[in-house]
Structure 1
Amino acid sequence: MPADQQPYPSVWARPRRSRREQQPLSREQIVSAALELLDAEGIDALSMRKLGTRLNAGATSMYTHVANKDELIELVVDEVYGEVEVPAADDPAGWRGAVTRCAHSLRAALLRHPWIASVQGEAGVAYLGPNVMRQNEAILALFEQGGFTLEAADRALNTVVAYVIGVSTSEAAWLTRLARSGRSEQEWAESLWPAAEQAVQDYPRLRKLYAARRNQDVSATRDDEFGTGLQCVLDGLAARFSPA
């Protein structure tokens, strides 16, 4: 079915071809090559033409599986979500420990592929991808294990994912800029520190906070702040929805 005749312009709305119909170039090969290209060169480097060259394949072979770049991005985003650890509902760590581990795994996956920050709002109906579906179903089960109703579990899932994506998107954009600069995160922070100290001179609370962070490891601080924020989110969800 042509992309412009689909009920919604998404790769997940397109019937997948049977094995007999598939060409020598598979969807999996296309997604793998696109992911490698994105990780190596970033989102601006991705084009159907460049991907075809990388695969030594013509456009016709690729358009058998994806109608355009937007559909390709949907597939690659779902591939990234396939890297996320999703604990079982009966995880011995309990719902909080399991959700915490899953959230950290999601953040790690997003930061391994920092280009994803620029496509989060362009991934179409990414929530229909099989890996996202698997993740969401498992997290709902974890919250139900903690005594949440299904409706409350859905609210909790959306809240946790929004927190992780919100923080990770900012981090990914920052890491992408660092990669372009050729500096390490610590080197960038050290070079920026004199200007930052000068900027907070008239703001006593900020000045005190900046002084306390002067010699901290920037990456470790990000990790700690993410973990603390996540626990605050879970505290709030437990207080509102969990009977335990």
Structure 2
Amino acid sequence: MPMAEESRAPSVWVRPERARRGRPALGRTQIVDAALELLDAEGLDGLSMRRLGTRLNAGATSVYWHVANKDELLELALDRVMAEVAVPSGDGWRAAATGYARSLRAMIHRHPWTVTLFGGRPMIGPNATRVLDEVLAAFGAAGFTGFDLEYAWSAVVDYVIGAAGSEASWQRAQPGTSAAQWVENLGPYLDRLDGERPGLASHIREIWMKETGDVLEGRFAFGLACVLDGLEARRPPAR
């Protein structure tokens, strides 16, 4: 079982690793690899310490040697996938912000279980801190400082998490179903809307019916451009 004092640690990254003597052959990397396989296949509900031990053909003691509880395991898994997020450099703050936003969105699509973890625990692992340091440098180069710097990058990341999370949720809940098929399946309900809310019924038929990957991309690009336009209007003038 996990040790009580370890379970109270604010983050796996601040809890000292246990002494090497007596350490089981199973390593932290193997544990995180197996956890990611479960998370990507089945989401957060599919991951448990018991199932992880079974997948690794190891007892719970071997897993608890490296992580005190499931929260610490999720911290490690989240930091691992943050390694996939890139922040371009060299073409100005807006290009860096756009590249970062698209990279983060792509990561969320590959690992939709991450959405509800953002903000839940401190992201202070090596990959997350690398990304944050690069993002802050990009927005700092735009002239943002202090709290404005925090607000600026947060506006972008919050938009991406919301947009990509919604996209990933739809794909997970409606696998293999196109928007046109979904609208067609509304059947009598949509017919009733014609009389009750004709404007909405028309919009569903004219817009939702035609939603494709290109439309989703256009919606994301439009929203991101609006966020960046707003930040451009607020950033300090160049000295």
TM-score, normalised relative to structure 2: 0.86
Separation (CA, whole Å) in 1 of partners of 2:121 and 2:45: 18
Aligned to 1:176: 172
Separation (CA, whole Å) in 2 of partners of 1:2 and 1:77: 23
Q: How far does the alpha carbon of each residue in 1:204-241 deviate from its partner, in whole angstroms, 9 at most, with x for none?
A: 54344334315523332222111111111111111112
Which one is further off, 205-214 or 136-145? 205-214
Aligned to 2:215: 221
Contact 1:83-1:109 at 8 Å conserved across structures: yes
Q: Pairwise mapping of residues 32-43 of structure 1 onto structure 2 (< 5 A)?
A: 32-43=33-44
Secondary structure of 2:68's counterpart equals: coil
Q: How far does the alpha carbon of each residue in 1:35-85 deviate from its partner, in whole angstroms, 9 at most, with x for none?
A: 011111222221111111111111111111111111111111111211111
Which one is further off, 48-57 or 141-150? 141-150
Matched, 1:44 2:45: yes
Separation (CA, whole Å) in 2 of partners of 1:97 and 1:200: 44
Report the CA distance shift for 1:28/1:199 in structure 2 as closer, same or farther (over 3 A).
farther
**From 93, 96, 107, the counterpart of 2:94:** 96
Q: Pairwise mapping of residues 28-177 of structure 1 onto structure 2 (< 5 A)?
A: 28-88=29-89, 91-92=90-91, 94-120=92-118, 123-125=120-122, 127-177=123-173
Runs of 5+ in structure 1 lacking a partner? none
**Deviation (angstroms), 1:19:** 6.1
Contact 2:87-2:131 at 8 Å conserved across structures: yes
Separation (CA, whole Å) in 2 of partners of 1:201 and 1:7: 58
Aligned to 2:182: 189
**Deviation (angstroms), 1:134:** 1.1
Secondary structure of 2:13's counterpart equals: helix
RMSD (CA atoms):
2.6
Separation (CA, whole Å) in 2 of partners of 1:150 and 1:229: 25
Contact 1:77-1:116 at 8 Å conserved across structures: yes
Contact 1:87-1:98 at 8 Å conserved across structures: yes
Separation (CA, whole Å) in 2 of partners of 1:22 and 1:242: 53
Q: How far does the alpha carbon of each residue in 1:156-194 deviate from its partner, in whole angstroms, 9 at most, with x for none?
A: 111111111122222222222124xxx334465344454
Contact 2:82-2:128 at 8 Å conserved across structures: yes
What is the letter of the counterpart of residue 100 of structure 2?
C
Separation (CA, whole Å) in 1 of partners of 2:174 and 2:13: 34
Separation (CA, whole Å) in 2 of partners of 1:29 and 1:242: 47
Contact 1:148-1:241 at 8 Å conserved across structures: yes
Report the CA distance shift for 1:22/1:51 in structure 2 as closer, same or farther (over 3 A).
same
Which one is further off, 103-112 or 170-179? 170-179
